Amino acid sequence: MKINLIHLFSKIRFKKLRLWVAYPFIFLYFALGLRTGFRLIPGILLVFAGMFVRVWASGLIKKRRKLTVSGPYSYTRNPLYLGSFLAGIGFCLFVNNILLTVAFVLVFYILYAGTIKEEEILLTTLFSQDYLDYKNAVPVFLPGFKRYHSTENSVYSLTQVYINGEIIRVMACALLIWLVYTLQYFLDAGLSNIIQIQKIIIVFIFLVFGFWLSIVLRKKCLRNQGLL
């Protein structure tokens, strides 16, 4: 029986597939880090840059309700995914493993290329010619130098950032960075410094509380907007 690979590829739901791929990748990430050690400095600026781009974009976009073409969307059609890519590369640099970085780039390309295709079909259905004009003028991923001009001018909203769940991602990112730092500290110093360990635990509790609070605030925003 002949298998149509293109047909099978088109049936994949990439947004769901991303979650399943993330779990083994995270396991591999920490396995490599524990073996070779973590280095925060090389990638931390990329992580911050990636999260900045995501927070900027999240304060403007109203998913499925409005076509957003201002802010970072006037330079790239997918600033959220660009931010994720930058942050992901930053985390790979923490481990300082070239094979992991190459694997991340390849997996990211496969998963997000499929996701973007799915979203293009949806956006064409929702916004018709407006989206097609925008699609033909703005690069799909890497930002262009020419800004897309439109009468649409979305107002940045921190509430929208909460609604889109971006603060939750920022807190999760902060927790992951702190976990990387903690693991490297124990690899280097062990359990000898009780005061430093107490500080690490206090910061960890603070970050967990911030993560929980961001989830609570998002639910409140969703209720206030009638989206929950």
Task: Give the dihedral sign, CA 156/159/164/170.
Answer: positive
Span of 2-6, 132-136, 205-209 with lowest mean pLDDT: 2-6
Asked if 163 and 127 sit in the same domain, the reply is no
Q: What is the mean pLDDT of residues 176-191?
A: 86
Asked if 164 and 113 sit in the same domain, the reply is no
Alpha carbons within 13 A on the beta-carbon side of 45: 2
Asked if 38 and 136 sit in the same domain, the reply is yes
Q: What is the mean pLDDT of residues 207-223?
A: 89
Asked if 146 and 168 sit in the same domain, the reply is no
Asked if 85 and 176 sit in the same domain, the reply is no
* Residue finishing a domain among 134, 156, 178: 156
* Count of domains for the chain: 2
Asked if 111 and 139 sit in the same domain, the reply is yes
Full residue range of the structural domain in which residue 224 is found: 158-228
93-132: per-residue pLDDT in tens? 888 888 888 989 998 998 888 889 889 999 999 998 899 9
Asked if 146 and 166 sit in the same domain, the reply is no
CB atoms closer than 10 angstroms to residue 51: 20
* Residue finishing a domain among 139, 156, 173: 156
- Quick one: pLDDT at residue 20? 64
* Residue finishing a domain among 126, 141, 156: 156
Asked if 191 and 106 sit in the same domain, the reply is no
Asked if 29 and 127 sit in the same domain, the reply is yes
Query: Are 50 and 88 in contact, with CB atoms under 8 Å apart?
Result: yes
- Quick one: pLDDT at residue 38? 83
Task: Give the dihedral sign, CA 92/97/100/101.
Answer: positive
- Quick one: pLDDT at residue 18? 63
CA 151/CA 153 separation, integer angstroms = 6
Asked if 127 and 179 sit in the same domain, the reply is no
Asked if 140 and 171 sit in the same domain, the reply is no
CATH, residue 64: 1.20.120
Query: Are 51 and 87 in contact, with CB atoms under 8 Å apart?
Result: yes
Asked if 14 and 126 sit in the same domain, the reply is yes
Residue 49 makes CB contacts below 8 A (sequence gap 6+) with: 83, 86, 87, 90
26-30 own/partner pairs: CB under 8 Å, 24+ apart: 28/100, 29/91, 29/92, 29/95, 29/100, 30/183
- Quick one: pLDDT at residue 5? 40
Q: Give 35's pLDDT tier (boundaries 50, 70, 90).
A: confident
CA 143/CA 156 separation, integer angstroms = 20
**Higher model confidence: residue 208 or residue 100?**
208
